[in-house]
Structure 1
Amino acid sequence: MFHREGQTIILVTFFITVGIILSAQFFVPIDWLRIAFQLAAFIVLVLILQFFRNPKRLVTPNFDEILAPVDGKVVVIEEVEETEYFKEKRKQVSIFMSPLNVHVTRYASSGTITFSKYHPGKYLVAWHPKSSTENERTTVVIHTPKFGEILYRQIAGALARRIVNYAEEGEQVTQGEDAGFIKFGSRVDLFLPLDADITVDLNQKVVGAKTCIATLKSQDG
């Protein structure tokens, strides 16, 4: 299954691919050159299909867990000052997505959207320290039953030129549901309460709507 945000690109790429393959078949007399053109066009189509894939993931909402909002690799786990919304210290977990990862953004928790804002910006590489504050990005805050408010930020990478964000203020959302899409390379930052127990490690690969990112610290200490 493919994400709706890729439908136009997939169709256009498909017709261009068919056109190149047929044109090469009839107008390129040199065998190796014809095959090279046809193979290159087919590979591009496969890469586009792979990028916009949208695997179904069944989730039983769990208020005690924050799930990974995207597929990728954990590149940051640290305590930071979140300056846009909370204006106080939070635990940050950042996940980097390569072009080979599924790029669907999913809600990390069920709750109510209390803040949703788009920021135009630069296109620094997604792992650059300033990408979180200078790149094109969206900031979304969810009020959750157990964790209070959590914030996630979709950040465009060097290749990305469009972030899709479905979150609207006042909307009730369900953990694991489709929250948006980032086209062609990106990163997502999560900002969690200081009493959250982070359950992933640096450089760990995570799966959106499946890998648990954090739980609440035990009240027993």
Structure 2
Amino acid sequence: MADRAVGVPFAKEGFPFIGVGVGVTLAFGWQGWTTATFVSAGVTLFVSWFFRNPARVIPTGSGLVVAPGDGKVIAIEEEFEPRYLKDRSVRVTIFLNVFDVHINRIPCDGVIEQVQYQPGLFLVASKPAATLKNEQNAVMIKTAQGAKVLCVQVAGLIARRIVCWVSPLDRAICGERFGLIRFGSRMDTFVPVGTSLKVKVGDRVKGGETILGVLS
């Protein structure tokens, strides 16, 4: 899987929004509508900031699982994952607010085994019910050692579009970009029981850079 967004300052999915914002701002300015021009410029800057695509320093090492997104760790739970893993695992949930980077990154090296989109509700992403009920996209990765890591993009109250750039049988490279969620969301990472976790609830993490844990 080639990292398609290297060197691009904004996710291409944001270009239409940014372009419209710039056009509207210029039109207001041409008409001499000062207040509308400043408001439109502010909205355009916010949208540009939302779709920013920063470079990250990807850690190296055997069995590393990195954060798939920026945000705050709001839950770490051992539970049975019934849909894809069909086994007990540890779920690390990261909540992304509208000010966080929304580019999503591959959590570990391996091969993409499965990509499954699930339509659903748009409950507040921080709520426990969002785990199973919200619109989401699951990416299953199998490592060279046979461990399975599940990464789930979960839409939220404001997020209304999930974007995923990977397909089954693609090579998964730790830290590479694989998609995004528009306007506030959540990332769930399911790792095997016994994984040595390096984060706790309340921690702020950076996608592709912060180590969530080390596979046993």
Look up the match of 1:213: 212
> Do 2:59 and 2:209's aligned partners in 1 also have CA atoms closer than 8 Å?
no
Look up the match of 1:132: 131
With structure 2 as the length reference, what TM-score do the two structures score?
0.92
> Do 1:66 and 1:213's aligned partners in 2 also have CA atoms closer than 8 Å?
yes
CA deviation profile, 1:112-151 (whole Å, cap 9, x unmatched): 0011110111111101111111111001100012461100
| 1:204 and 2:212 aligned | no
Report percent identity of matched pairs.
34
Number of aligned positions between the proteins: 208
With structure 1 as the length reference, what TM-score do the two structures score?
0.90
The 2-side partners of 1:160 and 1:115 are apart by: 23
> Do 2:118 and 2:135's aligned partners in 1 also have CA atoms closer than 8 Å?
yes
Change (3 A) 1:146 1:66: farther
Structure 1 segments unaligned to the other structure (5+ residues)? 29-33
Look up the match of 2:72: 73
| 1:11 and 2:19 aligned | yes
> Do 1:68 and 1:210's aligned partners in 2 also have CA atoms closer than 8 Å?
yes
- Larger-gyration structure (1/2): 1
Look up the match of 1:31: none
The 2-side partners of 1:159 and 1:148 are apart by: 34
Look up the match of 1:117: 116
What letter corresponds to residue 23 of structure 2 in structure 1? F
Structure 2 segments unaligned to the other structure (5+ residues)? 1-8
Look up the match of 2:40: 41
Give me the CA root mean square deviation.
1.3
The 1-side partners of 2:141 and 2:85 are apart by: 12
SS at match of 1:80: strand
> Do 1:21 and 1:41's aligned partners in 2 also have CA atoms closer than 8 Å?
no
